[in-house]
Amino acid sequence: MQTPSPGRARRREAVTFYLLISPWLVGLLTFTLLPIAVSLGISFTRWDMLSPPELVGLRNYARLLDDRLFWQSLSVTARYTLMYVPTELVGGLLLALLMNQVDARGIRLLRTLYYMPSVLSGVAFVVVWMWLFHPEAGLINAGLALVGVQGPRWLVDPHTALTALWMMSLWGLGRTAVIYLAGLRGIPRELYEAAAMDGAGAWRSFVGLTLPLLTPTIFFNLVLSIIATFQTFTSAFVATNGGPLDATLFLVLYLYRKAFQEFQMGYASALAWVLFALVLAFTLLVVRSGRWWVYYEGESP
């Protein structure tokens, strides 16, 4: 018997590779690329899924520009992103820095307690918070009453509803903190000892050492939380259904209404494309900016 030539072995390896990834390739084509193409096509039509689609050119996109609710949903999503992303990044880091000061046994217990709420997303999570935010009998306003403050009406007041949803999201802060903690504990102790020998104080070694070495983790959390805010749906759908007075009408909620309650598939597809373009633009912006501020050890392609 002859041993196969290196060329043949390489060809066989390539065939095996494509065989093994074929499930994902099929999924990529049918459940990712095909839908993106289909929705571009649908976005140029008017279609209720009952009668045949009618070609309307760019009219759906033109309508978007005049649609007050579209601009409202953009503004809600943008304001929420501006509230959520910084608190998530800074709050999570602060929590992780504090946790990192405690001995190993304490860290383990605290990590469990902080992390646990973040696995409880979904409707039940939102229902619990609706009860906490109840204007008369909710625990939050009861707590405020203890210190003599008359609490707002939270989810039923257009001025506070978005803030309430943001406070709700803070319950998941532990997840970010745990990601940071993993990053912090990956920094070798010797580096701190060396910095201390050079006379660096706590602040100098934080700014000069911890922060730069943590930039990959910060970057990762930044990308994750931007993507998360663009997808906010369940909390707004269950707790406020976009209200009061459209104060919590997130982009995805508006998209859901247009597609699955009003069956304006063409218009909804145009909305989805705008969402797609926005996410793409933001991700590219963040990834590009990462070249300037993210520090990778042993930088090499």
CB of 55 to other proteins, least distance (A): 16
CB of 196 to other proteins, least distance (A): 16
CB of 179 to other proteins, least distance (A): 4
Map residue 52 onto helix, strand or coil.
coil
Task: Report the distance separating Cα 295 and Cα 217, nearest Å.
Answer: 10
CB of 37 to other proteins, least distance (A): 8
- Rounded to 10 deg, the angle between the 92-99 and 173-185 helix axes is 50
Nearer to other proteins, 177 or 195 (CB): 177
Nearer to other proteins, 176 or 205 (CB): 176
CB of 247 to other proteins, least distance (A): 20
Nearer to other proteins, 123 or 194 (CB): 123
One-letter amino acid identity for 227?
Answer: I
Yes or no: say if 96 and 114 are a contact pair by the CB < 8 Å rule.
no
DSSP letter (8 states) at residue 43 = T
Yes or no: say if 295 and 215 are a contact pair by the CB < 8 Å rule.
yes
Q: State how far the alpha carbon of 152 is from the alpha carbons of 64, 160, 162, 206, 257, in Å.
A: 34, 7, 13, 39, 29
Nearer to other proteins, 192 or 220 (CB): 220
CB of 200 to other proteins, least distance (A): 19
Task: Report the distance separating Cα 234 and Cα 248, nearest Å.
Answer: 12
Nearer to other proteins, 205 or 269 (CB): 269
- Which of 262, 286, 259, 287 shows the shortest CA–CA distance to 273? 259
CB of 119 to other proteins, least distance (A): 5
Q: Is the dihedral of CA 266, 267, 269, 270 positive or negative?
A: positive
Yes or no: say if 162 and 153 are a contact pair by the CB < 8 Å rule.
no
Task: Report the distance separating Cα 300 and Cα 197, nearest Å.
Answer: 30
Nearer to other proteins, 162 or 251 (CB): 251
Angle at 274 between CA 248 and CA 41, to 5 degrees: 130
CB of 44 to other proteins, least distance (A): 13
Nearer to other proteins, 110 or 247 (CB): 110
Nearer to other proteins, 114 or 247 (CB): 114
- Which of 240, 243, 237 shows the shortest CA–CA distance to 255? 237
